[in-house]
Amino acid sequence: LACLTIKILFHLNKKKKLNSPLFSGIIYSGMQNYSTIEKTIRFYKNKKNNKLEILIHPGYPSLKEKSQFGKKYYNFYSSINRKIEYNLCFSPKVSKLFIWYKLLN
């Protein structure tokens, strides 16, 4: 739904010019992993643009914060997918992908 909304708003924009870097990640929101980031970078490698933004949600709560969430929300925010996204921020493999992307463009 978010992706569809963005596409509609983009087509309603009269300027039709993007002033931001290439952006990806809304479709994989809450599900990013090394594979999805690698696919995104490989897809954009030939776009003649050396700026790329990929959305991830790297935060997750500690057990001490459990009382600040409803059970449903705590289970979502403490899911393994959120921890995977958090670890992506510190992954040498992901860093190498971005270096590779920048070298190509």
* Per-residue pLDDT tens digits for 34-78: 999 998 888 888 776 667 888 888 888 889 999 999 888 898 888
pLDDT of residue 16: 55
Q: Is residue 17's pLDDT more than 70?
A: no
CB 22 within 8 A of CB 50: no
End-to-end Cα spacing for the chain: 32
Which residue shows structure tokens 């933004």?
Answer: 53
Which residue shows structure tokens 């009269």?
Answer: 14
Dig out the tokens for 52 from the structure: 């790329």
93-105 pLDDT tens trace: 999 888 888 765 5
Q: Nearest CA to 73 among 24, 94, 65?
A: 65
DSSP-derived letter for residue 76 is H
**Residue 27 half-sphere exposure, CB side, CA atoms within 13 Å?**
9
pTM, rounded to two decimals? 0.67
pLDDT of residue 93: 93
